[in-house]
Chains A and B, each alone.
Chain A
Amino acid sequence: MPEERPPLLEVKDVSRSYFEAGKEFKILERVRFDLAERDFVCIVGPSGSGKSTLLRIILGLDKPTTGEVRFEGQPLTPDNPRVAMVFQSFALFPWLTVEQNAELGLEARHDPLEARHAQARKFIEAVGLAGFENAYPRELSGGMKQRVGIARALAIEPVLLCMDEPFSSLDALTAQNLRDEILQLWSNPELPPKAVLIVTHSIEEAVYLADRVIVLSARPGRIVAELEIDLPRPRNRKEPEFFGWVDEIYSLIV
């Protein structure tokens, strides 16, 4: 059993509904979980389970109808520099170079010019994009774009890294490489982040990455199960135990 650690992130009974023409559409219902330092958590669910809405609420980009989210004991604001986000669509500014994109959070923090450049270059290098500092996103492949997205997130040295379907618009090989790189960054105590939260619809991806998987049901999204994946790392997708976990989660969703 791991020792008790104070929670980094507390999601407390979060519900979210949309109202249209007087009718209530429930997206999320009483979602509740904690996340501590050194955790690697994946939220899986079928499409329409409100996974992305949940992540937006966790980041403070959307408000829950009831319930609340706390980060380090405080209500979370979207611009909290200790939390960073990686987007499915990359969300890079097309008119900024790789380096300018990576500097975005630092610029918002009003870091001096030289410190900003140095910090951005450090993480551009860490994601393997050295030499592409002056390229524009349009000139890069999908995998490289997402590396920029990751560099931008890491540059502000977040404690918690949130990722919304980060690998689902990439080809299989690129996605696998990036997954391993995220695992490496997470396990490297020298580099951020301390904890990772990934939303995904791929069960295999969740079992491959996470030490805890939170399973959401289809509309409205409710937590069906919270599973500790105790497979040793690096994990092998061909082992029967791996398949066992995938099958178990699969049966929970269907």
Chain B
Amino acid sequence: MVAARKAFRWVALGLITLAAAFVIAFPETAGLALQLPLLALYSVARMFAAYVLSLVFAIAYGTTMATNRKAAVVLLPLLDILQSVPILGFFPAALIFFVTTFQGQPVGLEIAVVFLIFTSMSWNMAFGVYESVSTIPQDLVDAAKGFGVRDWLKFRRLVFPATVPKLVYNSMLSWSNGWFFLVASEIFTAFGSTYVRPGLGAFIADRGSAGDIAGIFLGLAVLAAVVVALDAVLWRPLSVWSERFRIETTGTGQPVPRVPLPYIRLTWLPRFVRPRRWVGTRLRPLATGYARLTVRMDRAASAHRRVIRTVRWVDLALFAVIFALVVVTGIVGLIGLLLRPHSPGVSEIPAATVRSLARLALAYGAALAWTIPAAVVLGRSPRASRLLTPVIEVSASLPATALLPLIIGFAIFLTPSSGTEAEVAAFLVALFAMQWYLLFNLIAGVRAIPGDLDEAARSFGLKGLAFWKRLIFPAIAPSLITGSITAWGAGWNALIVSEYIQFGRCGPSPCLYWTEGLGYLMDRATFGVPQLGLLPDGELLLLSILTMVLVVLAMNKLLWRPLFRRASARYRLEV
């Protein structure tokens, strides 16, 4: 811990020097920095609002799906589809809806942004809840039943705790997803006007279109700092704490972490800012008060069982009605569209699909080419891991959408006025969106290789190609596929923001960088391209979204699922 504290001192010193150098070099941009804390607060507040909504939704949806077999028939495939939908494609529609509902008030925009982040956070969490609840061991369910534990108490003592490990893990995933969409949605140009909600994402995009590189870096630095800080004070402690909720039959004698949350992992902080022990003592009456409150709540919950049950049914019925409404209007709209003569853009869809697929495949290949060796090094060498993990975590904390201005700038620099800037930029954005999911899943896979297998391989002289073929590849196959599914999901969303980019100034309007693809078609159909004389096209938008959904679903069903089933059947490391 002393080493950690010393390292902290050096890092702090380095950061202060860097900040000072920045102020001297770019005094004007540094002046902008004063507004950044408030902007960061706005962005974080949006994320939290969306997260709380997602949490409530995920728990309600996931537990219903796991405990009500009839509801699951509808809920499970529906969630599967929702998870595969490229969310950004629907954002313009959601934006119109909320903006017109609130008659252009900022509230409407704010709700639209939170809604978009919500849709990027909740599906995987709901699946996590579903998996945890449906795998609660039968004997625990029996014990709860046998001791009369039900209703609210059952949720509090059995169902919710069982979901904690997967919920925390998925929450971390959801937050990094959320940042991607937050940055994409804080500033949005549609239908001839630009909608801005002040925040870090809007700041970065604004600096980007002003051509202020220092400003972009400043925004990125603050964004990275916020993400890393949240990770350190919130997600790390939570994931240590969530270990307590793991259901295992083995593993006797292991101590369970029991330090109050904020103390864990904070030992690297200088002593004067670290929370003191007495905080725990002061908090004890609160804990007793909470315990007393729960007794009362349990009692109330069983006294009003019928009320609670009615509320739950009304809830579900409401959801069913909304769902049916969406499906019916969707089908009616689709039939109406198909009956009319097609707009000319529709014939471009097949070629665009192929282009987008090829682009993603290329980015995926590039991501694999560096993440597999990197994961093996990081997973097997504690030294490399210690040195490189901070760098990787900071880089990974930056969503690809935030890097967009830098990437397009880089692409222009790399291939000046050759007409391929947009192609290069789209590839890079897809690469950045995909690579971290692969890297982190692969590292976990490499770390999970049991030491005795490794030793056995070595003692039998397995080296070079054989070592990779016989040990590394089979062992990481399941995590490679899990990472690939998430990476491709992120890749599709990245296409929507990267195949059509507005950046810098070309005369009165921003410069356009675009390259053929499904994402480009969607953007074009949504906004129109006045420079090319193209108008917004609802039919094209709907059909390109539908195509993307179908491609994603087909890939999941026909490629990833079968691969995953095979990999986990053959290559799972049984303990």
Q: Name A's B-contacting residues (CB within 8 A).
A: 56, 59, 61, 78-79, 81, 84-85, 87-89, 91-96, 104-105, 107-110, 112-113, 136, 138-142, 152, 156
Contacts of B254 on A, CB cut-off 8 Å? 138-139
Partner of B252, one of A91, A109, A142: A142
Question: Chain B contact residues: over half helix, strand or loop, or mixed?
Answer: helix
Contacts of B288 on A, CB cut-off 8 Å? 113
Decide if B105 is an interface residue (CB 8 Å cutoff): no
Q: A89-B249, A91-B142, A138-B251 are in contact. Are A110 and B299 (CB under 8 A)?
A: yes
Beta-carbon contact of B246 and A79 below 8 Å: no
Tell me how far the C-beta of B484 lies from the nearest C-beta in chain A, rounded to whole angstroms: 32
Beta-carbon contact of A113 and B291 below 8 Å: yes
Complex Cα spacing A141 to B256, Å: 14
Scoring B148, B164, B253, B255 by chain A CB atoms within 10 A of each residue's CB, the highest score goes to: B148
Partner of A107, one of B142, B149, B247, B253: B149
Complex Cα spacing A62 to B223, Å: 55
Beta-carbon contact of B298 and A79 below 8 Å: no
Decide if B414 is an interface residue (CB 8 Å cutoff): no
Scoring B252, B254, B258, B299 by chain A CB atoms within 10 A of each residue's CB, the highest score goes to: B252
Beta-carbon contact of B247 and A94 below 8 Å: yes
15 other A-B residue contacts (CB within 8 Å) besides A61-B142, A89-B249: A56-B142, A61-B145, A88-B139, A91-B142, A92-B143, A94-B245, A95-B164, A104-B143, A104-B157, A105-B147, A110-B295, A113-B288, A113-B295, A136-B244, A140-B252
Beta-carbon contact of A84 and B146 below 8 Å: yes
Decide if B153 is an interface residue (CB 8 Å cutoff): yes
Q: A139-B253, A140-B252 are in contact. Are A108 and B149 (CB under 8 A)?
A: yes
Beta-carbon contact of A108 and B143 below 8 Å: no
Contacts of A61 on B, CB cut-off 8 Å? 142, 145-146
Decide if B474 is an interface residue (CB 8 Å cutoff): no
Tell me how far the C-beta of A100 lies from the nearest C-beta in chain B, rounded to whole angstroms: 8
Within 8 A of A (CB), among B64-107: none
Beta-carbon contact of A95 and B245 below 8 Å: yes
Beta-carbon contact of B252 and A79 below 8 Å: no
Beta-carbon contact of A91 and B139 below 8 Å: yes
Decide if B248 is an interface residue (CB 8 Å cutoff): yes
Within 8 A of A (CB), among B119-174: 137, 139-140, 142-150, 153, 157-158, 161, 164
Contacts of A56 on B, CB cut-off 8 Å? 142
Q: Name B's A-contacting residues (CB within 8 A).
A: 137, 139-140, 142-150, 153, 157-158, 161, 164, 244-249, 251-256, 258, 288, 291-292, 295, 298-299, 302
Tell me how far the C-beta of A238 lies from the nearest C-beta in chain B, rounded to whole angstroms: 32
Complex Cα spacing A152 to B148, Å: 12
Contacts of A112 on B, CB cut-off 8 Å? 295
What would 9 A/B residue contacts be, using CB atoms closer than 8 Å?
A87-B143, A93-B143, A93-B157, A94-B247, A96-B161, A105-B147, A105-B149, A108-B153, A141-B253
Tell me how far the C-beta of A176 lies from the nearest C-beta in chain B, rounded to whole angstroms: 20
Tell me how far the C-beta of B154 lies from the nearest C-beta in chain A, rounded to whole angstroms: 9
Instruction: Give the 4 A-B residue pairs with the shortest CB-CB distance, closest first.
Output: A79-B148, A108-B148, A105-B147, A91-B139
Tell me how far the C-beta of B120 lies from the nearest C-beta in chain A, rounded to whole angstroms: 29
Tally the A-B contacts, defined by beta carbons under 8 Å. Answer: 95
Q: A108-B150, A112-B295 are in contact. Are A79 and B145 (CB under 8 A)?
A: yes
Complex Cα spacing A113 to B295, Å: 7
Query: Nearest residue in B to A80 (C-beta to C-beta)?
Result: B148
Contacts of B295 on A, CB cut-off 8 Å? 107, 110, 112-113
Contacts of B139 on A, CB cut-off 8 Å? 87-89, 91
Complex Cα spacing A95 to B165, Å: 11
Beta-carbon contact of A79 and B140 below 8 Å: no
Beta-carbon contact of A85 and B253 below 8 Å: no
Contacts of B144 on A, CB cut-off 8 Å? 104
Tell me how far the C-beta of B312 lies from the nearest C-beta in chain A, rounded to whole angstroms: 20
Complex Cα spacing A108 to B145, Å: 10
Complex Cα spacing A94 to B158, Å: 10
Contacts of A113 on B, CB cut-off 8 Å? 288, 291-292, 295
Tell me how far the C-beta of A241 lies from the nearest C-beta in chain B, rounded to whole angstroms: 37
Tell me how far the C-beta of B99 lies from the nearest C-beta in chain A, rounded to whole angstroms: 45
Query: Nearest residue in B to A85 (C-beta to C-beta)?
Result: B146
Partner of B256, one of A81, A92, A139: A139
Beta-carbon contact of A78 and B146 below 8 Å: yes
Q: A91-B140, A91-B143, A94-B244 are in contact. Are A139 and B157 (CB under 8 A)?
A: no
Beta-carbon contact of A105 and B161 below 8 Å: no
Complex Cα spacing A110 to B246, Å: 27
Query: Nearest residue in B to A90 (C-beta to C-beta)?
Result: B139
Contacts of B137 on A, CB cut-off 8 Å? 89, 91
Contacts of A140 on B, CB cut-off 8 Å? 252
Partner of B147, one of A110, A136, A156: A156
Contacts of A110 on B, CB cut-off 8 Å? 295, 298-299, 302
Contacts of A105 on B, CB cut-off 8 Å? 147-149
Tell me how far the C-beta of A179 lies from the nearest C-beta in chain B, rounded to whole angstroms: 21
Complex Cα spacing A91 to B252, Å: 15
Complex Cα spacing A228 to B116, Å: 71
Complex Cα spacing A142 to B292, Å: 32
Beta-carbon contact of B145 and A104 below 8 Å: no
Contacts of B246 on A, CB cut-off 8 Å? 94
Beta-carbon contact of A85 and B150 below 8 Å: no
Partner of A152, one of B147, B150, B245, B248: B147
Tell me how far the C-beta of B164 lies from the nearest C-beta in chain A, rounded to whole angstroms: 8
Complex Cα spacing A59 to B146, Å: 8
Partner of A108, one of B147, B247, B249, B256: B147
Q: A85-B143, A110-B302, A139-B253 are in contact. Are A95 and B161 (CB under 8 A)?
A: yes
Tell me how far the C-beta of A189 lies from the nearest C-beta in chain B, rounded to whole angstroms: 24
Beta-carbon contact of A96 and B148 below 8 Å: no
Contacts of B161 on A, CB cut-off 8 Å? 93, 95-96
Contacts of A139 on B, CB cut-off 8 Å? 252-256
Complex Cα spacing A129 to B352, Å: 69
Contacts of A59 on B, CB cut-off 8 Å? 146
Query: Nearest residue in A to B144 (C-beta to C-beta)?
Result: A104
Contacts of B148 on A, CB cut-off 8 Å? 79, 81, 105, 108-109
Contacts of A87 on B, CB cut-off 8 Å? 139, 142-143
Beta-carbon contact of A93 and B150 below 8 Å: no
Contacts of A89 on B, CB cut-off 8 Å? 137, 139, 249
Query: Nearest residue in A to B294 (C-beta to C-beta)?
Result: A107
Q: A91-B139, A91-B142, A138-B256 are in contact. Are A104 and B292 (CB under 8 A)?
A: no
Query: Nearest residue in A to B249 (C-beta to C-beta)?
Result: A89
Contacts of B291 on A, CB cut-off 8 Å? 113
Complex Cα spacing A28 to B157, Å: 34
